């Protein structure tokens, strides 16, 4: 059966084609009685709006692009729900893209979204505010940074104060008496990772400690700066001096966490960090699993704290301490900023919204 046309709807409702168009696009300009007659005719004929034709006439679809780092991460699942709620309330749909923490893949998605004439783009960028994002804005596609602070005032952003979050995590571990700390995260081109590490390192330094760097390798965690950091992560002869070693991993995933745990477990107990701050909960949960397989106990042998406070954190075998982010609210506010910019055009005043993180203390980081 053929799909009914707008002309057939107009004939059945005894109105002009223009009136039917107004009902579809500007319903507030049509009287309630006429609008109801047209809608009844649409229902009777099974009329389906031709969105492609509308997009061709207007030059834009009723779609916004959403590019996230990892759709398998429950953090982004909740962020997407927040974006979806705001988009749905405004008659928009989402085109969801997973960059998978891959810069070239992100660039291909941005090209595709621009070709599809989306109304605007929300993005958690892999490599920060790139030239490609600048060009998108210059060509008329609004861009809002999601879970990433804007460095300038020429765009909107909705983010969490990750420097503060990193500081909260390190401060908590120090308060539990730990002096050999490690930050596990990567790649550091991702701003959230870099800022969480910055907050932790500043807190350790302020406590009179030292900061070094290490890499997770198959034969263990090997410091890259031996002149500053001894094998146990502290200055030689100063066991009580707090220290923070940076353990780099290739991705913020369960697998990276398990591999890092293998390296850490292979270290002698007197050299191994006694407390780990992980850049996200997936890493922390992967490390928890890897440490358990290696026969190490959490928190007795190694304390753990993650970041994001996903639902799985509290439900872990050892409930995971974490830095909580307002995930759905973050997505909703970012989407509302984008929708405002789409609606207001050049009148729009850019805003940078910064949420505050919250420390959630559970069994994984509390000394027994």
Find the mean pLDDT for residues 180-203.
Answer: 96
Q: How confident is the model at residue 235 (pLDDT cuts 50, 70, 90)?
A: very low
Query: Could you give the CA distance from residue 85 to residue 92 in angstroms, rounded to a whole number?
Result: 10
Query: Could you give the CA distance from residue 166 to residue 66 in angstroms, rounded to a whole number?
Result: 26
Q: How confident is the model at residue 237 (pLDDT cuts 50, 70, 90)?
A: very low
The answer to whether 240 touches 174, Cβ cutoff 8 Å, is no
Q: Would you state the structure tokens that stand for residue 84, as one six-digit string?
A: 């979806």
**Total count of residues recorded for the chain:** 368
Query: Could you give the CA distance from residue 28 to residue 39 in angstroms, rounded to a whole number?
Result: 14
pLDDT at 177 > cutoff 80: yes
Which class for 198: exposed (0-12), middle (13-18), buried (19 or more C-beta within 10 A)? middle
The per-residue pLDDT of the chain, averaged, comes to 88
**Beta strand 156-160 with 352-355: parallel, antiparallel or unpaired?**
parallel
Minimum mean pLDDT range among 186-195, 233-242, 274-283: 233-242
Query: Could you give the CA distance from residue 344 to residue 282 in angstroms, rounded to a whole number?
Result: 39
Q: What is the pLDDT of residues 137-164, one digit of tens each?
A: 988 899 999 999 998 778 999 999 999 9
pTM of the model: 0.78
**What pLDDT shows up at residue 17?**
85
The answer to whether 290 touches 265, Cβ cutoff 8 Å, is yes
**What pLDDT shows up at residue 230?**
31
pLDDT at 217 > cutoff 50: no
The answer to whether 186 touches 250, Cβ cutoff 8 Å, is yes
Minimum mean pLDDT range among 108-117, 224-233, 274-283, 306-315: 224-233
Query: Could you give the CA distance from residue 253 to residue 122 in angstroms, rounded to a whole number?
Result: 22
**What pLDDT shows up at residue 222?**
44
Q: What is the pLDDT of residues 43-69, one digit of tens each?
A: 888 876 655 455 544 455 789 999 999
**What pLDDT shows up at residue 196?**
98
Q: What is the pLDDT of residues 256-279, one digit of tens each?
A: 999 999 999 999 999 999 999 999
The residues near 148 (Cβ < 8 Å, ≥ 6 apart) are 123, 124, 125, 128, 157, 159, 191, 192
The residues near 191 (Cβ < 8 Å, ≥ 6 apart) are 125, 128, 148, 149, 162
**What pLDDT shows up at residue 234?**
36
The answer to whether 316 touches 341, Cβ cutoff 8 Å, is no
The residues near 18 (Cβ < 8 Å, ≥ 6 apart) are none
The angle at the Cα of 110, spanning 106 to 115, to the nearest 5 degrees, equals 150
**Beta strand 120-123 with 143-146: parallel, antiparallel or unpaired?**
parallel
């Amino acid at each position: 059966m053929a799909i009914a046309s707008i002309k057939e709807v107009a004939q059945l409702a005894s109105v002009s084609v223009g009136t039917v168009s107004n009902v579809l696009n500007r319903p507030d300009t049509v009287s309630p009685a006429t609008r109801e007659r047209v809608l009844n005719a649409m229902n009777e004929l099974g009329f389906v709006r031709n969105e492609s034709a509308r997009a061709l006439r207007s030059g834009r679809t009723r779609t916004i692009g959403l590019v996230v780092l990892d759709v398998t991460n429950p953090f982004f699942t909740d962020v997407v729900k927040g974006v979806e709620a705001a988009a749905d309330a405004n008659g928009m749909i989402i085109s969801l893209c997973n960059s998978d923490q891959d810069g070239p893949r992100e660039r291909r998605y941005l090209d595709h979204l621009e070709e599809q004439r989306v109304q605007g783009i929300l993005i958690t960028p892999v490599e920060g505010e790139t030239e490609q994002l600048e060009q998108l804005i210059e060509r008329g596609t609004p861009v809002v940074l999601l879970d990433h602070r804007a460095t300038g005032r020429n765009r909107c952003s909705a983010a969490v104060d990750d420097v503060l979050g990193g500081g909260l995590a390190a401060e908590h571990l120090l308060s539990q008496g730990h002096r050999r700390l490690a930050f596990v995260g990567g790649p550091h081109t991702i701003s959230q990772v870099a800022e969480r590490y910055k907050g932790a390192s500043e807190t350790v330094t302020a406590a009179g400690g030292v900061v070094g760097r290490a890499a997770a390798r198959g034969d263990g965690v090997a410091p890259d700066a031996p002149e500053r950091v001894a094998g146990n992560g502290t200055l030689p002869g100063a066991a009580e001096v707090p220290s923070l070693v940076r353990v780099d991993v290739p991705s913020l995933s369960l697998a990276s966490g398990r591999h890092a745990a293998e390296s850490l477990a292979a270290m002698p107990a007197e050299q191994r960090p006694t407390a780990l701050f992980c850049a996200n909960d997936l890493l922390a949960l992967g490390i928890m699993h890897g440490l358990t397989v290696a026969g190490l106990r959490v928190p007795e042998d190694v304390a753990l704290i993650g970041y994001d406070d996903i639902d799985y954190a509290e439900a872990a075998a050892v409930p995971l301490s974490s830095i909580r982010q307002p995930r759905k609210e973050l997505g909703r506010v970012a989407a509302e900023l984008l929708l405002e910019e789409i609606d207001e055009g050049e009148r729009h005043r850019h805003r940078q919204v910064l949420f505050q993180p919250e420390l959630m203390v559970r069994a994984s980081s509390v000394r027994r």
